[in-house]
Amino acid sequence: MKCAHSEEPPLLAEKFQLDLIYKAFLCSVMNPDRSRRLPKTLEALQKQSQELYDNFHTSSGQSSSGEDGLNQLLEKFWSTLVQSHTAQTELQHQNQELNAAHKTQESQYAYYRELFECAPASYVITNAEGKILDANRAATRLLKAESEALLRKPFSHFIASADQSVFASNLAQLKQGCSEAEWEVRLQREDGSEFSTALTVSVVRSEDSIPVKLHWQLLDITPYKQAATQAQSLKASNQQVAEVDRLKAQFLAVMSHELRTPIHIVSGFSQLLLRRFQAQHDPQLIDMTERIVGSSHHLLALVEDILDHAQLQSKRLQLKVEPLDLTDLITTTVEEMRPLARRKNLALQVELPQTSLLVENDPIRLKQVIANLLSNAIKFTDRGAVTLSVRELPEDRIAIAVQDTGIGIAESDKKAVFQAFCQLSQSLSRQHAGTGLGLSITHALVELMQGTISVESMLGQGTTFCVQLPRVVTLAGSA
């Protein structure tokens, strides 16, 4: 009894101390203001409990029922403290992860916010009722309004009055079930100016498919509309030019036909008169008649050039392809041109292959090409020689070159030599008669023969025109 009585005060003291520790623990856990000191409190409680537990087990009389109950209570309390400490450690770890996630979220928000603000396109965000919640810088510049002035305003405030009803109808249809739509409206800025806009709107819906937000993209299409108007105007102008060209070609063709008949009559009667006067040996009448015949031939050549040009421009000239000997054709053409060269004391030279060159082409038009090049070379050469050469090329092609020692062509004028009605110098046009159609017609005929023509020249040293043609010209649709 004495022993048990002597042990009672320490047990009461330890129970009292345990009660204080437990109350302190509850106070620290339940009080939100002290939650920041929870780890230190738990550590202090754990230490005090450990000391109490150790003192209790070193004291005497451990076999009593009171001591056993206290021992169980301490063990339960100790287990609770350990579990609380473990939970607190996990809570701290989760808190650190939450802080890191929050910082990442803030960084991402700042990043995407910067993208939103700096986007070149104009973006506006509204709620389901159409009130503006946000707008990027491009949108404020487009609408010419400060960001603060846009917020909470209805987006319909910026719709032109003429398009208000259409906009409201489209918006109502969009909310009924569409997720995205595009339409064109006219917007009105704060300063009252209007402009055409292409709107692209997407709907953000809740889990119940209720519209929550509307994302708008605004594109000013005024420049595109102006460009379209200009394109239509240009197209109309081109059509007018094409019609004028067609009428011009038609006029030239009709006039050429109308002029050709009387010129043939004048030429025919002039030749009859010339033969009669030659029989009479009247030099004066012979000279006058020869001038009439020469002028009629020259006028007929001009009319033929105009007619050919008109047919080439209207795509009505057709080739009549047949087999021919190119050597014979060139020889015949050169002999016809030799009197022109002889009048200017020019040497007319020909360089041909030893064997015959059999080709398939239009003999009349091919002869016209060669004659035009020879005539042009003789016309602009005052001394020296004109040389025509032919050589065979790979892939069944041939090259015909006409070289002269004439006045040459300036580098800046080379691009203009094949233009219709073009003569490179007004002073030259006075010295050398012609319409300026010869090389233009030659160029068009060579292209019609699936060939190419090029020019090389040095001013004051001469010019070389080179024509490359296929041996066999294939007519369109005959393959």
What pLDDT is stored for residue 108 in this prediction?
Answer: 85
- Domain residue spans in the chain? 2-112, 119-220, 226-313, 322-470
pLDDT digits (tens, 9 = 90+) for 203-259: 888 888 888 899 989 989 888 888 888 999 999 999 998 888 778 777 776 776 777
How many other β-carbons are positioned within 10 Å of the β-carbon of residue 86? 10
Residue 371 confidence class, pLDDT cut points 50, 70, 90: very high
What pLDDT is stored for residue 245 in this prediction?
Answer: 77
pLDDT at 1 over 50: no
Average pLDDT, the chain: 80
pLDDT at 97 over 70: yes
What pLDDT is stored for residue 181 in this prediction?
Answer: 86
What pLDDT is stored for residue 244 in this prediction?
Answer: 83
pLDDT at 15 over 70: no
pLDDT at 455 over 80: yes
* 280 within 8 A of 247, measured Cβ to Cβ: no
Residue 59 confidence class, pLDDT cut points 50, 70, 90: low
pLDDT digits (tens, 9 = 90+) for 133-142: 998 888 888 8
User: Is domain 322-470 given the CATH code 3.30.565.10 in the classification?
Assistant: yes
Residue with tokens 């230190």: 40
CATH number of 226-313: 1.10.287
Joined tokens for residue 448: 């019609």
Residue 114 confidence class, pLDDT cut points 50, 70, 90: confident
What pLDDT is stored for residue 8 in this prediction?
Answer: 40
C-alpha to C-alpha distance for 213 and 155, rounded to whole angstroms = 12
What pLDDT is stored for residue 298 in this prediction?
Answer: 75
Q: What is the mean pLDDT of residues 390-409?
A: 93
* Of 78-92, 275-289, 412-426, minimum mean pLDDT range: 412-426
pLDDT at 113 over 80: no
Architecture (CATH level 2) of domain 119-220: 2-Layer Sandwich (3.30)
C-alpha to C-alpha distance for 373 and 337, rounded to whole angstroms = 11
Residue 319, CA distances (Å) to 94, 408, 471, 474 in order: 91, 32, 15, 10
What pLDDT is stored for residue 111 in this prediction?
Answer: 81
Q: Which of 184-193, 242-251, 318-327 has the highest mean pLDDT?
A: 318-327
What pLDDT is stored for residue 419 in this prediction?
Answer: 82
